Amino acid sequence: MSTIFDGLSLGAIYALIALGYTMVYGIAKMLNFAHGDIIMVGAYAILTTLAAGGHIGLALVVAVVTCVIFGIVIEKVAYKPLRGASPLAVLITAIGVSYFLQSIAQIIFGAKAQTVTVATFGTVSIGTAEISISSIITLIVGAVIMAGLTLFVKNTRTGRAMLAVSEDRGAAQLMGINVNRIIMITFAIGSALAACASIFYLMQIPSTEPTLGSMPGIKAFTAAVIGGIGSIPGAMIGGVLLGVIEKICLSIPVLAPYTTAVEFAMLILILLVRPIGLLGKKRREKV
Does 80 engage in binding with other proteins (CB under 8 A)?
no
Does 84 engage in binding with other proteins (CB under 8 A)?
no
**Nearer Cβ to other proteins (197/212):** 197
- Which window, 19-27, 56-64, 164-172, 205-213, contacts other proteins (CB under 8 A)? 164-172
Does 279 engage in binding with other proteins (CB under 8 A)?
no
- Give the one residue of 185, 202, 236, 242 binding other proteins; rule: CB under 8 A: 185
- Give the one residue of 8, 17, 131, 161 binding other proteins; rule: CB under 8 A: 161
Closest CA to 39 of 180, 219, 242, 250: 219
- What distance in Å separates the CA atoms of residue 27 and residue 25, rounded to the nearest whole number? 6
- What distance in Å separates the CA atoms of residue 229 and residue 276, rounded to the nearest whole number? 8
**Nearer Cβ to other proteins (145/212):** 145
**Nearer Cβ to other proteins (173/260):** 173
Contact 218, 18 (CB under 8 A): no
Residue type, position 172, single letter: A
**Nearer Cβ to other proteins (232/240):** 232
Does 179 engage in binding with other proteins (CB under 8 A)?
yes
Q: How far is the CB of 104 from other proteins (least distance, A)?
A: 29
Does 81 engage in binding with other proteins (CB under 8 A)?
no
Alpha helix positions (H), 52-132:
56-74, 87-109
Q: List residues bridging with 135 in a β-sheet.
A: none
- What distance in Å separates the CA atoms of residue 45 and residue 148, rounded to the nearest whole number? 24
Q: How far is the CB of 153 from other proteins (least distance, A)?
A: 10
**Nearer Cβ to other proteins (118/162):** 162
**Which of the residues 223 through 262 are near other proteins (CB under 8 A)?**
none
Does 148 engage in binding with other proteins (CB under 8 A)?
yes
- What distance in Å separates the CA atoms of residue 93 and residue 227, rounded to the nearest whole number? 25
Does 157 engage in binding with other proteins (CB under 8 A)?
yes
Does 28 engage in binding with other proteins (CB under 8 A)?
no
- Which window, 61-69, 83-91, 158-166, 204-212, contacts other proteins (CB under 8 A)? 158-166
SS (H, E, C) 179-206: HHHHHHHHHHHHHHHHHHHHHHHHHHCC
255 by Cβ neighbours in 10 Å (0-12 / 13-18 / 19+) ranks as middle
**Nearer Cβ to other proteins (57/253):** 57
Half-sphere exposure of 135 (CA within 13 A, CB side): 21
Q: How many helices (H) and strands (E) does the chain have?
A: 11, 4
Applying CB under 8 A, the residues found at the interface with other proteins are 148, 151-152, 155-161, 163-164, 167-168, 170-179, 185, 281
